[in-house]
Structure 1
Amino acid sequence: MSFENKVAWITGASSGIGEALAYALHSEGAKLILSSRRENVLQKVKDNCRGDTSDIYILPIDLAKAKSLSAKAQEALDAFGHIDYLFNNGGISQRSKVVNTDMDVTRKVMEINFFGSVALTKAILPSMMDRQTGHIIVTSSVMGKFGTRLRSSYAASKHALHGYFDSLRQEVHKENIHVSLVCPGYVKTDVTKNALEGDGSKHNQMGKGQQHGMTPTKFAQKLLPEIIAKKEEIYIGGKEIWGIYLKRIVPSFFNKILRKMEVT
């Protein structure tokens, strides 16, 4: 693959898919900027990367604080002079019925998942346009293609990403900037443990799908070739991926299936 000496900025890099991407990209020769809220955990990820880690820059950010992200983006650009790949991977999930979900929770999910990714992208985009090259990767979900019970705010945030970044892709095509939306199925991460309940507290339970899901390492291995191929929409997972196609082809039938499924 061709990540040698490329600069990749990864949000949500302290665990799960983001952490796995850090290891995979660095092993392919990429220079990294690692971001999440927890600087001490980012340092551990850096230390776990093999070989010389002098080309890894730690940049703590909070995606919920959109007004701070422009300055953070400038710091990222200053670290290595430019960004080749922006992995908008940071995010948070939700597990609660609509009727029991505080508006503050819905706003927080949207602020982190949607507005955080938008703010970072807008801050980096002019530099990519000046260089006439770049690749923006957005971690969506199968929930970006359909919704299920207990995930209304999460699904809404992921659906919003598709609308926004589909539009952006059309606008920057002539500038040789690529946009990929990644739709993972079940990946064995702490996404359900960290999900917000309706009152804003942590869910603190591992979902059954995540328990039996793909490892983040395997996910990263499958993702990188798709990024090199500049694929616009990427689906990686198990049988749950078929839901994307069923929703598209036989939506009424698929909705009946969803109503009967166990949701955790």
Structure 2
Amino acid sequence: MNFSKQVVWITGASSGIGEALAREFARNGARLVLSGRNTAELARVGAACAPAETLVLPLDLGDAPSFPGKVAEVLARYGRIDILVNNGGISQRSLALETALDVDRRLMEINYFGTVALTKAVVPTMISQGRGRVVVVSSLVGKFGTPYRSAYAASKHALHGFFDSLRTELEATGVGVSILCPGFVRTGISVNALTGDGTPLRTMDEATAKGLPPAVFARRAVRAIAQGRNEVYIGGRETWGVLLKRFAPGLFAKFVGRAKVR
């Protein structure tokens, strides 16, 4: 894997999967744009990626009108954007009927609309370059729903529909689309997940605590990106759920309803 001098823009780069991806791309020679809301943590990640060249670019996925200006900042610094990694987002831990509609809307606004808006701001640059890759960090729940994650699953399912369509539209442009579907990865995603009233859960669930180390996920993910994979599932035994849902949906429904996923 050689990303020497390629410009890789990662959202949600201040921790977890985003930080691990930044470190892995840096090890493979990339120049980085690190985005998220926590400027201090982005700076910490940037320092950890040294000697890779980095640009810390604060960004709120809920502020789509700011995106064209952010793209201009990246182009002013590097002159190009080779890979956009749409990793930023928020999760959920609450029963569907106990989740306020404002929380459902919040997840869709950040996870779906924010990702789509940033992609629309970046892709014209990639088309003009004649090459580029859009990477979307989805989830296994982008392929099937599980308890306590109804709004999160909905937002990730929506991403698959949009980016599968976008991939077909970009086929002749030199711009590719890769969708990464993590299973359980040992990050703070459940700690920051929204509960039914919109407040953070503030605890790590057991399944996440036993998940894949972020560095292991990042190595597999960056390899898949280098290979130009359209869609890849990265995790432990939970990835089997994709095949089980496809070939034995009745059995899958019984299994997932009993699964300990919280």
What TM bracket, shorter-length normalisation?
Answer: over 0.9
Q: Does the Cα contact within 8 Å between 1:86 and 1:135 map onto a contact in 2? A: yes
Corresponding letter in the other structure for 2:160: H
C-alpha distance in structure 2 between counterparts of 1:249 and 1:76, whole Å: 44
3-state SS, counterpart of residue 134 of structure 2: strand
Q: How does 1:40-79 map to 2 (within 5 A)?
A: 40-51=40-51, 53=52, 55-79=53-77
Instruction: Name 1:22's counterpart in structure 2.
Output: 22
Q: How does 1:224-239 map to 2 (within 5 A)?
A: 224-239=222-237
Corresponding letter in the other structure for 1:31: R
3-state SS, counterpart of residue 55 of structure 2: strand
Does residue 243 of structure 2 align to residue 245 of structure 1? yes
C-alpha distance in structure 2 between counterparts of 1:50 and 1:34, whole Å: 13
Q: What is the identity percentage for the equivalent residue pairs of Structure 1 and Structure 2?
A: 48
3-state SS, counterpart of residue 223 of structure 1: helix
1:41-86 superposed Cα distances (whole Å, 9 cap, x missing partner): 10111111232x4x20000000012222222222222220110000
Gaps of 5+ in 1: none
Does residue 111 of structure 2 align to residue 125 of structure 1? no
Gaps of 5+ in 2: none
Does residue 190 of structure 2 align to residue 192 of structure 1? yes
Instruction: Name 1:204's counterpart in structure 2.
Output: 202
Instruction: Name 1:5's counterpart in structure 2.
Output: 5
1:200-245 superposed Cα distances (whole Å, 9 cap, x missing partner): 1001111111111111111111111111110000111000000011
Task: Kindly state the Cα deviation for residue 170 of structure 1 after the two structures are TM-superposed.
Answer: 0.1
Q: Does the Cα contact within 8 Å between 1:27 and 1:50 map onto a contact in 2? A: no
C-alpha distance in structure 2 between counterparts of 1:165 and 1:102, whole Å: 27
Partner of residue 109 from structure 1, selected from 107, 110, 119:
107
Q: Does the Cα contact within 8 Å between 1:7 and 1:84 map onto a contact in 2? A: yes
Instruction: Name 2:80's counterpart in structure 1.
Output: 82
Corresponding letter in the other structure for 2:30: A
Partner of residue 181 from structure 1, selected from 176, 179, 182:
179
C-alpha distance in structure 1 between counterparts of 2:66 and 2:104, whole Å: 21
Corresponding letter in the other structure for 1:260: R
1:129-174 superposed Cα distances (whole Å, 9 cap, x missing partner): 1111000000000000000111000000000000000000000010
C-alpha distance in structure 1 between counterparts of 2:71 and 2:106, whole Å: 21
Partner of residue 161 from structure 1, selected from 159, 162, 169:
159
Task: Kindly state the Cα deviation for residue 176 of structure 1 after the two structures are TM-superposed.
Answer: 1.1
1:155-199 superposed Cα distances (whole Å, 9 cap, x missing partner): 000000000000000000100111000000010000000000010
Q: Which runs of 4+ in 1 moved over 4 A?
A: none
Instruction: Name 1:99's counterpart in structure 2.
Output: 97
C-alpha distance in structure 1 between counterparts of 2:105 and 2:258, whole Å: 29
Instruction: Name 2:141's counterpart in structure 1.
Output: 143
1:95-146 superposed Cα distances (whole Å, 9 cap, x missing partner): 1111111111111111111111101100011111111100000000000000
C-alpha distance in structure 1 between counterparts of 2:99 and 2:234, whole Å: 29
Q: Does the Cα contact within 8 Å between 1:70 and 1:119 map onto a contact in 2? A: no
Does residue 253 of structure 2 align to residue 262 of structure 1? no
RMSD: 0.9
Number of aligned residue pairs: give it: 262
1:3-50 superposed Cα distances (whole Å, 9 cap, x missing partner): 001000000000001101111111111000000001111011111123
Task: Kindly state the Cα deviation for residue 87 of structure 1 after the two structures are TM-superposed.
Answer: 0.2
Does residue 36 of structure 2 align to residue 36 of structure 1? yes
